[in-house]
Amino acid sequence: MKNVTIIVPCYNEEEMLPLFLKKAEELFIDNDKYSFDFIYVDDGSKDKTLEILREASLKSERISYISLSKNCGQDPALSAGLKKATGDCAIMIDCDMQDPPELIFRLLEKYEEGYDVVNPQRSKRETDTYFKKTSSGIFYRFVNKMAKKEVVPPNVSMYRLLSRKALDYLNSLPESDRIIRSEVPFIGLKTCYIKFERQQREAGKTKYNFHRMFDLGERTLVDSTTGLLTMVLKIGLLFSFVGFLGMLGCIIAYIIINTNLDIGTGSTYFHLIFALIIFVGILIVGVLSIVVYIPCMYLKVIHINTQNRPTYLIGEQFDSVRSIAHGEKSDKK
Ligand code: UDP
Ligand code: MG
């Protein structure tokens, strides 16, 4: 019998978690082909998430949990779970049931066919807002264009199956700032996609506001490609070229047409040209700031990785598998 570890990150999910636990029990507890164990990662929740997990772990010997010392984000939460996964394969799944748990059996079929990475890919994104749909579509096209290859597959979330080999490779990556959605394509191995329709969140709300989405986008971009750095040069060349053409045009206009603008004090032209100079100046400062920010994005990541601090610390954990082995089921650390 093969062991499958299911890793579930939870942040303030007191409304969804009981529904997920119930569904998981219905679907996965009695199975003669696979033995499922669950690692729930409480990502520093402020609601009753941890209490629910403590209770659930006492009721089922298949449930372990890790509670992070504070809210660290979905990637660190998943990394904590991946490090503890003991199964022949592992599956990461959100607890809001937007990614249908029933699909896990189809992921396992593909695993049995020999795939190391099985990616459920959303066929449509009807459940997302117009803004999220459009921005993520543009973003993934942009990242892959910058990298000149598909470094991050579109419409694939964290919901994935990883074979033991893929899992070990992923756990062995040295960076402390983890971006799992670009690390999984990086490790390669035999990969396939299966289409599915993402469901509506049944309760609670999304934890990704604009600020978090922007931050995730920026880190994914930096993690996936250095193409942006070359873009700085391209932007510089473009602006120099446009500036040069404009300058040339002015000189030619002055010499050939011999424009005789009356720019004396009080004339309309004077105010117009003055305003134009100010706005062009502001535009240039804006573009320059954006261009300077691009290497800063890479510096930020270098800073985080050279600091080499752990991206999560564990506040409390309960390892059901180890406890069963040592006969200490109720001992919580
Ligand atoms: N999550 C987490 N830490 C966070 C944010 C989210 O562990 O800081 C979990 C969350 O509880 C859920 C999953 O990650 O199980 C996906 O989050 P969400 O549903 O908010 O994302 P969306 O589906 O809206 O992209
Ligand atoms: Mg969700």
Reply yes or no on whether the pLDDT at 303 is more than 70: yes
How much is the pLDDT for 149? 80
Reply yes or no on whether the pLDDT at 329 is more than 70: no
Element (H, E) at 318: strand 314-318
Reply yes or no on whether the pLDDT at 79 is more than 50: yes
Reply yes or no on whether the pLDDT at 264 is more than 60: no
The rounded Å distance from CA 97 to ligand 1 centre is: 11
Q: What's the full length of the chain, in residues?
A: 333
Q: Give the tens place of pLDDT for each residue, 4-44.
A: 999 999 999 999 999 999 999 888 877 788 989 999 999 99
- Give dist(CA 240, CA 58) in Å, integer: 67
The rounded Å distance from CA 198 to ligand 2 centre is: 9
- Give dist(CA 298, CA 223) in Å, integer: 9
Please name the amino acid found at residue 93. Answer: I
Q: Give the tens place of pLDDT for each residue, 83-141.
A: 999 999 999 999 998 889 999 999 999 999 999 999 999 887 677 777 777 888 888 88
Vertex 213: Cα angle to 179 and 175 (nearest 5): 15
How much is the pLDDT for 323? 46
Ligand nearest to the CA of 159: 1
* Mean pLDDT confidence for 48-62: 91
Predicted structure pTM score: 0.79
What DSSP string runs through 95-118?
A: TTSSS-GGGHHHHHHHHHTT-SEE
Would you place residue 267 in the very low, low, confident or very high pLDDT band (cuts 50, 70, 90)?
low
Burial of residue 52 (number of CB atoms within 10 Å: 0-12, 13-18, 19+):
buried
Ligand nearest to the CA of 201: 2
Reply yes or no on whether the pLDDT at 331 is more than 60: no
Query: Which residues neighbour 19 within 8 Å (Cβ) at sequence distance 6 or greater?
Result: 97, 202, 203
Task: Report the residue among 74, 122, 202, 209 best suited for mutation to probe ligand 1: largest number of ligand atoms under 8 A from its CB.
Answer: 74
The rounded Å distance from CA 13 to ligand 1 centre is: 9
* Mean pLDDT confidence for 160-170: 95
Residue with tokens 């403590």: 54
- Highest-confidence segment of 48-52, 94-98, 283-287, 304-308: 48-52
How much is the pLDDT for 333? 41
Would you place residue 150 in the very low, low, confident or very high pLDDT band (cuts 50, 70, 90)?
confident
Report which of residues 145 and 327 the model is more confident about.
Answer: 145
16, two tokens: 């969804």
The ligand 1 atom nearest the CA atom of 201: 19
Residue with tokens 């074979």: 163
C-alpha pair distances (Å), 148 with each of 143, 214, 264: 8, 22, 53
Please name the amino acid found at residue 211. Answer: H
Residues near ligand 1 with C-beta < 6 Å? 9-11, 13, 43, 71, 73-74, 77, 94-96, 98, 206-208
* Mean pLDDT confidence for 186-190: 91
Vertex 215: Cα angle to 213 and 221 (nearest 5): 100
Percent of the chain topping pLDDT 70 = 91
The ligand 1 atom nearest the CA atom of 78: 7
How much is the pLDDT for 266? 53
